[in-house]
Amino acid sequence: MSKRNFFNITESTPQGVKKFYFLDYFLILLQSCNISDDPQKIFTVFKTLKEKERLGESKYKKLIIDDSEELSDSQVARYKYTFKQVISESLSCGLLNEKEHLLSLTKKGRNTLNIGLRDKRAFYDVILKILEKKYSAFYHLIKLCYEQNSSKNGLLIFPIYSPRKLGFDKKEMKTNNHLIKYSNKLRVTLEKDIEKFLSVKMSLKEPEKELIKKLIDDDILVSGDLDNLFNSLKYNAIIGRFRKFWLNYFLNEIYEYPFSFTTFNIWVERGKQLGVIHTTEFYPNFDGRLVYPTSIIVEDNKNNDLVKAYDYGQGEFLFIHKPKWKNNKNKFIDTLHNSYFDLKNNKRTNFIRISDLREKVCYKLKLPTFIFNNFLQETYNESLKGETKIQISLEADRLPQETSAMYLKREPVIINNQQKNIIAIDYKK
């Protein structure tokens, strides 16, 4: 892969980011500090707002609000950990002051809070400037994407294949030989993905040998004894070792990202909220994760669909792809329609998941998710008026709150203040 020389902003420290994903944590902390300066009282308000906004401890939002009056000790510990992380980053970003263990809003913090209370998207725009001034993390990340895969507009792939996906039944995987065969097939599959998506032909035999050696050194595999049984109780942990190894190999060795996977994950998830990066683990017919930029860093821009978001002060600017509806209406509707039929093929029903359709359209048009949501609402409303060449049917289907899942792993689409999950499209009769 290509060598890079753009890591030259000396004050840049992407690895200094604190461990939380949701940018709304900044807002609820500022709201909490606006009520009191006492950390204990601030935490009480923070905890309430966190539950109200359904902010989980991971990168996923909760599906339900916890109505229980008492949190478990472990829940309180996790909440306090997140609370302290958000405080630490807010202090370092100049949003808060701390004096004699009391917290107060700075002028910047108060202005940011006022913007957030009026307009969430404007709040994100302000947070982007604050974060990029401190870390320059997106400067690194966006340039890395384009440098590593310019032919596909900065697409990074992180394939993940379970044994079952590659034809191995868990119940039949009992010996070292089964794990070796899985490893071999996984390696070949990854090589094919690299050639297909990154346009690079490379052998992964050496890193596979390194992985196998590590498993032998840790007494998970026994060297030379292929018929030996491995500990079936450790099956999930063993497969997790394969997954972690290859994800880190792609990030650090193939893409040459110089920081940890944890740092990468935090910035990618934050970037998705800000509109500079898109990431998904649910792209139709792809096993794993896709990451690609929905922004660009250039010295000059004449494309009205690209909106200036940050000035690096050295002749380069960050532009986010925020196309205007009136200029892109026909292109969006055509892409929406074509993508719908791509997904509908071989299905017995006319309805498909909107979240699947969104992934296809966002990738083809390099749209942030919030732009897709806005455009779909515009399309639907014009369809109701008979102003488009297509007809759209939207249904709530089964609401996420009615499922047994704990976390919302795919963002819902809100159309006219109602959550919609499935869609059908047809030509207007």
Q: How far is CA 2 from CA 161, 191, 290, in A?
A: 26, 18, 19
* Residue labelled with tokens 């010295």: 299
Sequential DSSP letters for 271-316: HHHHTSEEEES--TT-SEEEEEESEEEES----TTEEEEEE-SSS-
**Average pLDDT of every residue of the chain:** 91
How confident is the model at residue 10, as a pLDDT?
45
Among residues 372, 353, 359, 351, the alpha carbon closest in space to that of 424 is found at: 351
Question: How do residues 140-168 score in pLDDT, each as one tens digit?
Answer: 999 999 999 999 999 999 999 999 999 99
> Model confidence over 397-413: pLDDT tens digits?
764 544 556 567 788 88
Phi, psi values for residue 141, rounded to 5°: -65, -45
Instruction: Write out pLDDT tens, residues 199-236.
Output: 999 999 999 999 999 998 988 887 777 788 888 888 99
Residue 349 φ/ψ, nearest 5 degrees: -105, 155
Whether 161 contacts 171, CB under 8 Å: no
Write the pLDDT tens digit of every residue in 9-25. 446 789 999 999 999 99
Using the CB atoms, write b or e for 44-54: b if 16+ within 10 Å.
Answer: ebbbebbbeeb
| Phi, psi for residue 197 in degrees, rounded to 5 | -95, -25
Instruction: State the DSSP string of 207-229.
Output: HHHHHHHHHHHTTSS-TT-TTSB
Q: How far apart are CA 48 and CA 409, in angstroms?
A: 22
Check residue 337 and give its pLDDT. 95
Q: Which two tokens stand for residue 410?
A: 């795919």
Return the half-sphere exposure (C-beta side, CA atoms, 13 A cut-off) of residue 208: 17
Q: What is the mean pLDDT of residues 36-53?
A: 95
- pLDDT tens for residues 312-352? 998 999 999 999 999 999 999 999 999 999 999 878 888 99
Share of the chain above pLDDT 70, in %: 93
Task: Report the alpha-carbon distance of residue 122 to residue 161 in Å, rounded.
Answer: 39
Round to whole Å and give the CA distance between 220 and 211: 11
pLDDT given for residue 70 in this prediction: 72
Looking at the DSSP bridge assignments, the partners of residue 425 are: 392
pLDDT in the model for residue 17: 96
User: pLDDT by residue (tens digit) across 270-312?
Assistant: 999 999 999 999 999 999 999 999 999 999 999 999 999 999 9
156 contacts 287 by C-beta, under 8 angstroms: no
Write down the pTM of the prediction: 0.92
Instruction: Give pLDDT, residue 233.
Output: 85
